[in-house]
Amino acid sequence: MLAFTIRRIFEAAIVMLTVALMAFVLFRFVGDPVNQMVGQDTTLAEREELRERLGLNDPVIVQFGRFIWNAARYDFGISYQVKRPVTSLIAERFPATFELAVTAALFAVLLGIPMGVYTGIHRDSWLSKLFLSVSLIGISLPTFLIGILLIYVFAVQLGVLPSFGRGEVIRIGGWTTGFLTASGLKALILPAITLGLFQMTLVTRLVRSQMLEVLRTDYIKFARARGLSDRAVNFGHALKNTLIPVITIIGLQLGAIIAFAIITETVFQWPGMGLMFIQAVQNADIPVMSAYLMLVAFLFVLINLIVDLLYVWIDPRVRIYGREA
Amino acid sequence: MTETPALSVRNLRVEFPTRRGTLAAVDDVSFDIAPGEVLGIVGESGAGKSLTGTAIIGLLEPPGRVAGGEIRLNGQRIDNLSREAMRPIRGKRIGMVFQDPLTSLNPLYRVGEQIIETIRTHLPMTEREARARAIELLIEVGIQGAERRIDSYPHEFSGGMRQRVVLALALCAEPELIIADEPTTALDVSIQAQIIQLLKRLCRERGTAVMLITHDMGVIAETANRVAVMYAGRIAEIGPVREVIQSAHHPYTRGLMGAIPSIEGTGDRLTQIPGSMPRLTAIPKGCAFNPRCPHAFDRCRVERPDLMPVDHSLAACWLVAPVSAEPPR
């Protein structure tokens, strides 16, 4: 188990190094950062001095090493645009994205799994068919369109929910939360649905197809022949066996939710990292972009690691392979 | 037999509606099994053996359904029970053993959890009592170190050991009937005999009736008291195992027996039955076996024989029909 964990962590470190290389290359691609930092009337000597001070005259490998060293200490430099440390920008923006992503993920899982189980068990009921038709819409409509439709219906026509922003937030230490105020919660509903709808339909369809497969297996037939209740068979025996692929997908999708909150945040002017990233792209704000890249990669790697460890917890057979590995 | 049979099946018919009409996969099947008796059911794949077993325990997959006949368990009719009324009978009064022990157990639960779950579904026991009983059962089916092994996962057992666990599961609520559907087919030959002996011993001790579905005549000869031979959804012959094996009345049964190699064999070629069993969509008129039967005559091609008594058996063949039984035309 320990060896398994260590191996996974080692693999994760390699992935992070690769991503760091890409994030670093970003800087090299967009040319001389000094040009963007100084005014028109700066002398060549001053430029040279700045270059020396920033370490831009060092060999590339040294610069890369310094980039990694700084990143490891959670230092991504100063934003070109707003002239503040990137990390403090992220710290401001992260809670908004995190709360949105968690709400969207909960929405997707808490609705998606029961709907998947239901449609898997009652294959031919009209409710299953309704769920599946609705999920088809969720899968095929692009996110921004869903967002705009929701705004049109609930904010413009019905006027019951806000169309943009986070509402009132409460500051707890360095964290701002919208969970504790009525307007914060209300503001969360539409973006969370927009962001989570695709994932929910994905979870529904995945759980459904897994259930259909598992329900055909011998051990389910045997469980029925043992006279276990439908509840025990469907939820105790069948659902647990569908969880491995479902957790994999949910894990990956959680990363995707955070990473691709960009569109939803733009539609709803949600003050999170996605919006920050879009603004950084528009202004060629490389430190922000590379920090965002590193952070998202880190989240993906972390989630994957957790998913791997969850496998071991769910499926005893993996423990053996883990031990041998 | 004066006592009530443990299982009594009368004119059972299982149908599958299809686009091309309704298929009768099991047609007019009747038999009894006395308490403590082992009835072997043999036949080729697709003869309707497993479907008969599945119909008895009430687990037919839709659209398959019991379309006629009666199933009685110790006198109580069970074929017309609702899903909810049938559930407590499964596992409690009818135990089932499936073909493949590798896939019969849920891989994610310890074997003990699965046994305890079943025991507690059917018997009013605490977790602790059920666990003690589960260990007893595992010892009884011959699992070494049962106190320890009860906390193992199915993948930590070999195939033969898993089938022992499956037996323990089938027996855990002391059922009146065990339906064993090809219980040894997936096992090594050396293990097969052990499992069969075990099944036989456990059921004899408990007086449990056994319906043993297999296509292995060796297993039948070893285990069964009586045997029913199925062909194309119907019983071709049913009788005491010795009589059926040594002096079969139905040409199909004789063909099956001729295909078994024997040690005393003098090197003769094994006889084989020409052709193959008809598909359900194309069962011939008259006796379903007539196109393959070496003794078929005109009557076999037009009129379907019912089971007729001969010696201690029943056989569905015009060859054994007494002349007086000829129906008027």
Q: B21-33 and B177-181 as β-strands: parallel, antiparallel, unpaired?
A: unpaired
Q: Tell me how long chain B is.
A: 329
pLDDT confidence band for A111 (50 / 70 / 90) = very high
Quick check: A244 contacting B, CB < 8 Å? no
Residue contact B91–A226, C-beta within 8 A: yes
* b/e map A23-34, b = 16+ CB within 10 Å: bbeebeeeeebe
At B266, phi and psi to the nearest 5?
Answer: -95, 25
pLDDT digits (tens, 9 = 90+) for A64-108: 888 888 888 888 888 877 788 888 888 888 888 888 998 999 999
The residue whose two tokens read 């006395």 is B34
The encoded tokens of residue A63 equal: 């610069």
CB atoms within 10 A of CB B98: 24
The yes-or-no verdict on residue B328 having pLDDT over 70 is no
Mean pLDDT on A109-130: 89
Residue contact B107–A315, C-beta within 8 A: yes
Q: What's the 3-state SS for chain B?
A: CCCCCCEEEEEEEEEEEECCEEEEEEEEEEEEECCCCEEEEECCCCCCHHHHHHHHHCCCCCCCEEEEEEEEECCEECCCCCHHHHCCCECCCEEEECCCHHHHCCCCCCHHHHHHHHHHHHCCCCHHHHHHHHHHHHHHCCCCCHHHHCCCCHHHCCHHHHHHHHHHHHHCCCCCEEEEECCCCCCCHHHHHHHHHHHHHHHHHHCCEEEEECCCHHHHHHHCCEEEEEECCEEEEEEEHHHHHHCCCCHHHHHHHHCCCCCCCCCCCCCCCCCCCCCHHHCCCCCCCHHHCCCCCHHHHHCCCCCEEECCEEECCHHHCCHHHCCCC
Mean pLDDT of chain A: 84
Among B108, B89, B180, B75, residue whose Cα is nearest residue A315? B108
Instruction: Name the residue ranges covered by the structural domains of chain A.
Output: 2-72, 86-143+196-283
Domain B7-262+270-278: give its CATH code.
Answer: 3.40.50.300
- Pick from B57, B96, B118: which is nearest to A228 by CB? B118
Residue A171, SS3 per DSSP: strand
pLDDT digits (tens, 9 = 90+) for B109-139: 999 899 999 999 898 989 999 999 999 899 9
- For residue A316, the chain B residues in CB contact (below 8 A) are 107-108, 153, 155
Residue contact B155–A315, C-beta within 8 A: no
Q: What distances in angstroms separate CA A324 from CA A267, A310, A319, B166, B315, one per listed residue?
A: 49, 18, 9, 28, 58
Could you tell me the sign of the dihedral formed by the alpha carbons of B23, B29, B35, B39, in that order? negative
- Pick from A219, A224, A237: which is nearest to B59 by CB? A224
Residue contact B107–A228, C-beta within 8 A: no
pLDDT digits (tens, 9 = 90+) for A159-176: 888 888 888 878 887 788
CB B190 within 8 A of CB B17: no
The yes-or-no verdict on residue A11 having pLDDT over 60 is yes
Could you tell me the sign of the dihedral formed by the alpha carbons of A217, A221, A222, A223, in that order? positive
pLDDT digits (tens, 9 = 90+) for B56-80: 988 888 888 888 888 999 888 888 8
The residue whose two tokens read 């409710």 is A127
The yes-or-no verdict on residue B327 having pLDDT over 60 is no
Quick check: A223 contacting B, CB < 8 Å? yes
The yes-or-no verdict on residue A277 having pLDDT over 80 is yes
- For residue A229, the chain B residues in CB contact (below 8 A) are 87, 121
Cis peptide before A287 (omega within 30 of 0): no
CB B105 within 8 A of CB B186: no
Quick check: A125 contacting B, CB < 8 Å? no
Largest CA distance in chain A: 87
The residue whose two tokens read 């610069």 is A63
Better pLDDT: B185 or B224:
B224
Cβ contacts of B29 within 8 Å, gap of 6 or more: B9, B11, B12, B13, B48, B52, B69, B230, B233, B234, B235
Among B32, B56, B207, B45, residue whose Cα is nearest residue A225? B56
CATH superfamily of A86-143+196-283: MetI-like (1.10.3720.10)
The yes-or-no verdict on residue A323 having pLDDT over 50 is no
The residue whose two tokens read 């699992």 is B143
For residue B231, what are the β-bridge partners?
Answer: B234
Tell me which DSSP letter residue A57 carries: T
CB atoms within 10 A of CB B324: 5
pLDDT value of residue B38: 92
The residue whose two tokens read 């609702």 is B82
pLDDT confidence band for A322 (50 / 70 / 90) = very low
Among A231, A208, A33, A23, residue whose Cα is nearest residue A131? A208
Q: What distances in angstroms separate CA A28 from CA A53, A58, A76, A144, A293, one per listed residue?
A: 17, 13, 15, 33, 15
CB B167 within 8 A of CB B198: yes
